[in-house]
Amino acid sequence: MITQNLSIIREQLTQGKLIGLPTETVYGLAANVFNTKAVSDIFKTKNRPNSNPLIVHVASISQARALVKRFPEKATLLAKQFWPGPLTMILPKSQIVSGLVTADQENVAIRIPNHPMALSLLNQLNFPLVAPSANPFNRISPTTAEHVEAYFPAIYTLDGGACHSGVESTIVGFENDEVLLLRHGAISIEKIEAQVGRILNRTASEKASLPGQHKKHYAPSCELIVSYEPLFMLSAVKHKKVGILWYKSVQIESIHVEVNLVLAPSGALDEAAKNLFSALHSLDHMGLDLIIVERLPAEGLGITINDRLDRAASK
């Protein structure tokens, strides 16, 4: 059920129910962080393994401080620059955060979302919200209330319009005095490095400290291929019902293609990020056998988008 009524949403959360939460990145499936039953319902509803920890969404830096043992100096710097915003920080948890939220790790993931409705909701509640993206495990992330409704019709979703960034938050951790990049996201590496200097890229690491970075993720129900040369790929698969998602423009109309979509007519990478999951949702509902996506330039948000596409393509 889609609603714009904050008091219905507040009541659902207070009763221990899950709700669809608009943020600037993607919609979340949210619950009271202190309600163990509600938190475990998130895992069940998403069909997500308990070993994959959740991000806690707070209204303010002081609310974040209550959830952690320490706030490193560089974390304070980043919070001042990017919160509210699409930056998640992994910090040593205090006792009030349950191990169910963190998959029994000593660290908790925290961010302040930059969406007016999410912020006013968080300010009205006396508890933070855990919220993974509101999609079944491994599926395409939702960027509209309608996407959430299609996945989870039985819950209330707060309608905050189409998400502004369209890809998930960037995740960083801290080790000694270093900042570690753990997930590419809506804030580019360059922007973070402009604040804290060189950061260490740990996104490719297979370490156990990176739960939930599953190779297969964001997947449509049909096969998906990512390529700098979509038409070259097409020549190998002539008999299938194919859709192509182009970066800036359709290069050549081919009679073998069922549908051509363009991600970002302006070529701007933030426009491409904003439209990415919506375009994948549309293509996913067209009964295609194959989606071919043009790979983006590997710079700035293009790196984040290519990361999502490679996971969507993973078998």
Is 306 a binding residue for ligand TXA by CB under 6 A? The answer is no
CA–CA dist 297, 301 (Å, integer): 9
Q: Does 306 bind Mg ion (CB under 5 A)?
A: no
Nearest to 171 by CA among 94, 81, 256, 78: 78
Asked whether 42 and 130 are in contact (CB, 8 A), the reply is yes
Asked if residue 241 lies in contact with residue 288, where contact means CB atoms within 8 angstroms, the answer is yes
Q: Which does 224 bind (CB under 5 to 8 A by kind): Mg ion, ligand TXA, none?
A: none
Which of these, 27, 186, 15, lies nearest to 118 by C-alpha position?
Answer: 27
DSSP secondary structure string, 214-256? Answer: -SS-SB-SSEEEEES-HHHHHTT-TTS-EEEEESSS-----TT
Give the interface segment with ligand TXA, choosing from 103-111, 145-153, 223-231, 277-285 (CB under 6 A). 103-111
Output 140 or 234, the one with its CB closest to ligand TXA. 140
Taking alpha carbons only, the member of 62, 70, 109 closest to residue 90 is 109
132 binds ligand TXA (CB under 6 A): yes
314 binds ligand TXA (CB under 6 A): no
92 is a site residue for ligand TXA (CB under 6 A)? no
Query: Residues 6 or more apart from 160 whose CB is under 8 A from it?
Result: 22, 23, 115, 116, 117, 118, 145
188 binds, among Mg ion, ligand TXA, none (CB under 5 to 8 A by kind): none
Residues of this chain, 162-181, that bind ligand TXA according to CB under 6 A: 168-169, 171
Please identify which residue in 13, 20, 23, 68 interacts with ligand TXA, judged by CB under 6 A. 23
Distance of closest approach, residue 132 Cβ to ligand TXA, in angstroms: 3
For residues 54 and 121, which CB has a smaller minimum distance to ligand TXA in the complex?
Answer: 54
Among 31, 38, 78, 90, binds ligand TXA (CB under 6 A): 90
Task: Answer with the entry of ligand TXA, Mg ion, none that 189 interacts with (C-beta below 5 to 8 A by kind).
Answer: none
The residue from 20, 22, 53, 243 that contacts ligand TXA (CB under 6 A) is 53
Minimum CB–partner distance for residue 12 and ligand TXA (Å): 17
Half-sphere exposure in the Cβ direction for 2 (13 Å, CA) = 13
178 bridge partner residues: 175
Candidates 20, 22, 28, 220: give the one binding ligand TXA (CB under 6 A): 28
> What is the C-alpha end-to-end distance of the chain, expressed in Å?
33
Q: Tell me if 133 contacts ligand TXA by CB under 6 A.
A: yes
Distance between CA atoms of residues 306 and 168, nearest Å: 13
26: partner contacted, choices ligand TXA, Mg ion, none (Cβ within 5-8 A by kind): ligand TXA
Exactly one of 78, 109, 219, 273 binds ligand TXA (CB under 6 A); that residue is 109
Size of the residue set binding ligand TXA (CB under 6 A):
26
- Classify residue 271 as left (phi > 0), alpha (psi -120 to 50) or beta: alpha
Identify the CA nearest to 132 among candidates 34, 82, 57: 57
- 285 burial (CB, 10 Å; 0-12 / 13-18 / 19+) is exposed
Contact pick of 32, 133, 144, 170 for Mg ion (by CB under 5 A): 133
Residue ranges that bind Mg ion, judged by CB under 5 A: 133
Question: What are the residues binding ligand TXA (CB under 6 A)?
Answer: 23, 25-26, 28, 52-55, 86, 88, 90, 102, 105, 107-109, 113, 131-133, 168-169, 171, 211-213
